[in-house]
Amino acid sequence: MGYSSSRSIAMRIPHYTASAEFTRFVRTMPKTETHLHLEGSTPIELLRELEPERFSAPPPFWSPEFRYTSFDQFMGLYDEYCMNFYTSAQRYHDAAKIVLATCAEQGTRYVETSIHLPGLAAVNDSGPEILAAIRQAAPPGMEVRIFAGMCHNDYAMHGELIEAALGWDDLAGIDLHGPEYWRMETWSIDVWHRALAAGKSTKAHAGEFMPAPFVRWILDNLGVRRIEHGVRSIEDPELVRHLARQRITLDVCPISNVKLAVQGVPSMAAHPIRALFDAGVPVTINSDDTFFFGNRLEEEYFALHQELGFSKAELARIALNGIEIALLSPEKKQALVAEWRAFVAAESLDLAIAEGSNRFVG
């Protein structure tokens, strides 16, 4: 299997490694990536072309031991390292090409990537041109859906852009980004409901830095059925039951949670994804921002197996959760589920366990 980004991989210290057999298992499993910020995953080789000196060595936050001191620090580094790169549709295309190829080489068949919508204000090309450029970067056989993210307070400055985006055909949906602890403004309720009415998919970041009641607020007011992270839902057993009963999916990013020192995640071994999964909450695992965490999707699978005791059948169930929420036509979804079932059979996994685990009972 060839690497499109072998130079940067050579610079990287892996967070988790696995045997050749287990690596093959994870890479060949049909799976999805449904929480991936394009800007936060800017390939280092593109940044190095512009500033060879600065990017000659891996950034400090690639180290597995690195911990961010706060989300504010993370946001500051985001602007400092990555946001300035995106000056044209071509740059979005160049970044997406490498990011999506890296997904494909790990057996990822379907990707939802988000771009930060206010960032488009600094680009001369139009929103639809940027979306087309990203879509054209998808390798053959991969389905890509693009979400536009915005922060709690972006409407005052970027309302026109937000309204326009709801009409872009190539936009799959919207996502709530940025610091969760910023005050929620009422425009978001209206925009999230109008996005749904316009046929867009909706999700929101919640339950990463704010506690369980914020997840509740988001569910009740924005009407989403997809929560990005959502790990602090574990603080409220009734909310956990609600997520499981309603099959509201949490797009979890375990390595990101550890490196951002999310409350309740002092280590991978203590990550609540085990308890959420066992309670029947549909969860997916994802890499979030590969530039800022230095991770690869397959390492998330290795981590759950090695530190949280997830069996191969349970990891397959997590992959199936991603396939089930994928924004695909019924025919394409059926075909991908059939591929997943064929994989489960070929690996001699118990289909009943693989399909039946992670279900809410009682």
Whole-number Å distance between alpha carbons of 235 and 49: 45
Whole-number Å distance between alpha carbons of 103 and 254: 17
Q: Nearest approach, Cβ of 205 to Zn ion (angstroms)?
A: 6
Q: Quick one: 111 or 316, whose CB is closer to Zn ion?
A: 111
Binding string, 268-297, against Zn ion, x = CB under 5 A? Answer: --------------------x---------
Could you tell me if 117 and 166 are in contact, meaning their C-beta atoms sit under 8 angstroms apart? no
Q: Nearest approach, Cβ of 10 to Zn ion (angstroms)?
A: 27
Q: Quick one: 288 or 300, whose CB is closer to Zn ion?
A: 288
Q: Quick one: 25 or 81, whose CB is closer to Zn ion?
A: 81
- Residues 261-289 as b or e (16 or more Cβ within 10 Å = b): ebeebeebeebbbbebbebbbbbbbbbbb
Residues 6+ apart with CB under 8 A from 77: 61, 292
Q: Nearest approach, Cβ of 286 to Zn ion (angstroms)?
A: 8
Q: Quick one: 112 or 314, whose CB is closer to Zn ion?
A: 112
Whole-number Å distance between alpha carbons of 171 and 39: 16
Residues 6+ apart with CB under 8 A from 272: 231, 234, 264, 265
Q: Quick one: 3 or 181, whose CB is closer to Zn ion?
A: 181
Q: Nearest approach, Cβ of 16 to Zn ion (angstroms)?
A: 20
Q: How far is CA 227 from the centre of its chain?
A: 10
Catalytic-residue membership of 185: no
For the four alpha carbons of 60, 211, 263 and 297, in that order, the dihedral sign comes to: negative
Number of residues forming the site for Zn ion (CB under 5 A)? 1
Q: Nearest approach, Cβ of 344 to Zn ion (angstroms)?
A: 29
Whole-number Å distance between alpha carbons of 70 and 88: 30
* Catalytic position from the list 39, 208, 228, 300: 208
Residues within the interface to Zn ion (CB under 5 A): 288
Indicate which residues carry an active-site annotation. Answer: 208
